[in-house]
Structure formats: C-alpha cells, structure tokens
A and B are shown apart, each in its own frame.
Chain A
Amino acid sequence: MTSVSAATGIVAQDVCKSFGDHLVLDKVSLTIAEGTILALLGPNGAGKTTMVRILSTLIPADSGSMRVAGHDVVTDPDGVRAVIGVTGQFSAVDNLLTGAENLQLMADLRHLDRGTGRRRVAELLEQFDLADAAHKLLSTYSGGMRRRLDLAMTLVDRPRVIFLDEPTTGLDPRSRRTMWQIIRELARTGVTVLLTTQHLDEADHLADRIAVLDQGRIVAEGTPAELKSRIPGGHVRLHFADANLLHSASELLRVPAPNRDQLVLQVPADGTVDSLRALLDELHEAGISVERFTLHTPDLDDVFFAVTGSHVTAQLHTHPAPRAPEGALLS
C-alpha cells in the first residue's frame, strides 16, 4: 500500500483475467486515493468493464490482490459490497416499479430503518430532479431520467466507493453535464470514484487521475495535465492560397509539406503569443501571405494516440481534433 489514504480507497495489484484463452486483463495495477476520481480510459474491449466487474465482486479475477475501502475483494466480498455502489453500463433498474419504489427497494435491501429509508428516498428524488416522476412507472422515463435514477439507487446507503461504468453513454449533452456535476459533487464529499469511459473529454473534465487501458494493459497513468505534458508542444497549421506559397513557406521554415493537395503546412509551436508572432513576422518579411491559421494545443486525443498508437478511438470522440504529426508524438 502506497499511502494511508489509499488504504481506504481502491488498491489493485497485478490483476489478471482471461476468458478462455483470451487474456482480458494483463497485470493491471491501480491505486485510487480516498475521495478522488480515477478515470479508466480505453476503447471498446480494452477490459474496462471486466476490471469494474472484478473490483465490484461480480466476477473473480484469475490472480492479483485487490482491496476496496480496506476490504479484501477475494476473502471479504460482503465487506466490499456493504460499502460500494455500482452503476453499470446497462441500466440496473426495475422497469415494473416506479422511481420511488426502486429507491425504496434499495433502502430496504440496505436494511435502513423505515424512517431513515423514507427520508433518504425523498432526498434523492429531490436531488436528482425526479420528484415529479417519483410515482410514475419507469416505462415513462427518458434515458436521462433512468440514468439519474440508476445512480440515485447506487447512492441510497451513501457508499464510500462507487464504480461508474460508462455513466454517460447514450445521454444527451445536457444530461451528460448534469451527470458530471453529480459525480464531481460526490468526490467533493469524500466518495472514491472509479469511472470508466471511452470519452477523453469526460476523463479530462472529471478525473483527478487517468489510467489508459489498452488490450488489457495500463499503457499510461497520471493526472490529465501530466499526460498532456508528455506530448511535446502543439502545432500551427498554416493554410495557403496556392502551391507556390506553400512551397516557399516550406523552404523558409524548413518544414516538409506532407500533402501538396491540401495547401496546408504543419509547424511545431508551443502556443505562446511571442513564438506565434515571430513565426508570422518571418513569413510576412519573406512576402509569403498566409490565408488563415489554426492553433492546435495537445489534448487527450493526442495522448491516447501516442500511448496506444491507435486511431480507432478517435472516431469515438465528440469533436474530432486535428492530429499532431507522427514525429511530434511521444515515442
């Protein structure tokens, strides 16, 4: 155990899991300090959900040691279950009950006494903006409402650790923002959160630390800022009116123009105003006019691309960002 606070959060060491001869998790180690959010980031099939299922006692690991809030996952699963809350990828709600009944069901199964249970249900309905729909059957709920209820059910007994497996998948932007707000609020009150996501911006917005999982291995870990700093600088894309200008600029700046058809030159830049001014001045003095430019600062897309070497996940991103050239990437 690396620190005192980690003893009450989540500590996993060398977790391995195979399904048949398919290795899904390959010695995955994670440490999440109490009251912090760790985002497990990765493409489909990376093993994120499997990791959550193992830590939340749903399936056994093949090997490795895991402690959640001080309880050993293997030897004391009921101890773990008593302090965790899990919101999975597929809504874990009872469709034949109303919202209030779903919450009451959780309160009863958590053995809260009648008064406490009732108060908690009312409180959560209010907090999650479900009070108006409390006595309606779930078949009338929208996707966002179901997700909110799902999370509210997870929080009935104030768990100290929660697992959120892709909590915003399928939500509209507004519901997504609401969900983010709720998750951040939880961490602020001391709850430890393990969140899985394939959205880089989600991890960037929410997480204190990010672990990038790819094909069952942690390929990078750190704060969002640390991960971004692993990419050396950003770049400026200069757009020219014709191929001659592009060629001149390419010679002047000693940067190869990779694609002559696009009339775009990609120049490494650190994003400061001074360096940008110097670059534009140099071009101006040489009489090369630039039509327009775009500035690209590194984001998690670049990190992900750098550490996994994969383009696939870029398609999952909500706003496709221009890519840094291969040479500028972390090696």
Chain B
Amino acid sequence: MTTLAYTLSDSRVMLRRNLKHQLRYPSMTVMLIGLPVVLLLLFVYVFGGQLGAGLGVHEGRSAYLDYVVPGLLLVTVASAIQGTSIMVAMDMTGGIIDRFRTMAIARASVLTGHVLGSLIQTLIAIAVLFGVAFGLGFRSAAGPLDWLAAVGIVALFAFALIWLAVALGLAAKSVETASNTPMILFLLVFLSSGFVSTATMPAGLRQFAEYQPFTPVADTVRGLLTGTAIGDSAIAAIAWSIGIAVVAYLWAIRLYNRRRAAEPM
C-alpha cells in the first residue's frame, strides 16, 4: 500500500472507532442531538408567539419557526463540537494515545477519525432537527439544489468548527476544561442573526453580531431555505469557514505533535 492508502485506511479505522464510541457513550450523543431539539421547541412554543409578533406578519409563531430553523442548525453544530472536544481530550488524557504514537500509523489519522466521526454525528443531528421542524410545520419552497447548498454550507462550517474543537480538546489540560471552552461558541450563536434580526440589537452589539462568522452562515442558510436576501453572506460564510478550518487545522496538528513531548518521566 502507498502512504496515501495507509492514511485512508488508518483514518477509516479511527472513524469506525469514534462512531463506536458515540454508540457506547449514548448519554452524551443523545444529549448533543437532543439539546437543539429542546431549544427548537422552547423557542417556537415558549418565545415564538412574542418573537414572531415582532416579525410583523400574521401567524407570528409559524413565521418565527421558519426564521429560527437556521439558528438552531448553528446550535446543533455548536452542540456537536462540544462532544468532539470532550472525546479528543478523553483520548489525549488516556493511555491509548501513547500506544498509537508508538505504532507506525498515519499520524493525523487519530484526529481525522475524530473530525469525520463528529461530522457524521452533526449531519445526523441536523437530520433529526429538520425532522422535528417539519413535524412542527416548517415548510420550505427550496429546490433540491438550494437544499444541497444549505446543507453544504452548514457542513462546511461544521467542519471548520470541528477542527477548532479538536484543537481546543488538544489544548485542554483536562476533560472538564475541554467540555467548557466550546461554550463560548455556543454563546456566539445567540449573538448572531440566528434567533433575532441583528437590526433589532443596540449599536455596538449589532456591529459585533454582523461581523462574526455565525451571522453570514445563518443568513445564507435562511436565504436558501426561505428565500430571504442572501447578498454577500454566502461568500462571507465560505470565507469564514475556510479561514477557521485552516487556522484550526494547523493549530491542532501543532498541538498534537508537540503534546507530551515535554512531559517529564
């Protein structure tokens, strides 16, 4: 086999291992997939009446459901990467990583296994969220290409944030830290156009919300699914995703190669 074939084979083995982990650690998997669903119900049925009235249309609650689905897609991503960070940290603080390091396996495969595993988990969580949203009455006039583009944008953004979560998991000294740090990303979803229009926010916060990566992703997905204006959000979303992915990837590889090298005894 060639080096590339080994890398692919090793990554596949690691992916299978991570998918098994998700099945064996169901409490976390269910929590990560369930949280966006619970928030969806909360935002539609508890806050939806009043927030929907602010949209200035008839049938505010169902209009708000259409509005908020992209926001909850981002919640899904932010929720899933918390699992990534925890799983990576669990691996790094356990003994098994040293075993992998003393074997002639493709170095990056440990990390790519985590990334691909998390990506699959995120896509499943997104499918579940859409299923519930449709059940609640979410309707989209989008064609197959728009759907593909919408899921593609979310997946690309998820890919970028998963690498960031991998880096955070590697940087964390303990599993607890690894589980807490990604909470900041969770907060960014609320400080974006995911739940309310940035136009309703006070100056300062509004500028922040408009220029942070979650907003263009939310606006692009919303445009593709419900036909609102996209403008240059799509380009911004893709640029943010690629930028975050590259920086996070390089950071993660650096941390992975350096980790433990300086640890005494």
Chain A interfacial positions (CB closer than 8 Å to B): 19, 22, 24, 45, 49-50, 56-60, 78-79, 81-82, 84-86, 88, 90-97, 101, 105-106, 108-111, 137, 153-154
Contact = CB atoms under 8 A, between A and B. Distances in A.
Nearest to A153: B99
Contacts, number: 71
A111 B103 CA distance: 11
Nearest to B87: A96
Interface in B17-38: 17, 20-21, 24-25
A58 B96 contact: no
B105 A109 contact: yes
Nearest to B261: A59
Interface string B238-265: 0000000000000000000000111111
9 contacts: A81-B102, A82-B104, A88-B98, A92-B95, A94-B96, A97-B24, A108-B13, A109-B100, A109-B105
B123 to A, nearest CB: 21
Residue of A24, A45, A92, A93 ringed by the most chain B CB atoms within 10 A: A92
A187 to B, nearest CB: 20
A60 B261 contact: yes
Interface residues of B, number: 27
B27 to A, nearest CB: 12
A139 to B, nearest CB: 10
A60 B102 CA distance: 13
B119 to A, nearest CB: 19
A287 B178 CA distance: 78
A58 B98 contact: yes
A154 B95 CA distance: 13
Interface string B59-75: 00000000000000000
B6 interface: yes
B9 to A, nearest CB: 7
B95 A93 contact: yes
Contact of A97 (B20, B105, B263): B20
What are the 4 A-B residue pairs with the smallest beta carbon separation, nearest first? A92-B99, A92-B95, A81-B104, A90-B95
Nearest to A139: B24
B10 interface: yes
Contacts of A97: 17, 20, 24
Nearest to A86: B102
A38 B96 CA distance: 25
Contacts of A110: 103
A50 B265 contact: yes
A56 B103 CA distance: 9
Contacts of A58: 98, 101-102, 260
Given A93-B96, A97-B20, A56 B102 contact: yes
A78 B94 CA distance: 22
Contacts of A78: 104
Contact of B20 (A81, A82, A96): A96
A76 to B, nearest CB: 10
Contact of A88 (B6, B95, B264): B95
Contacts of B24: 96-97, 137
Contacts of B265: 24, 45, 49-50
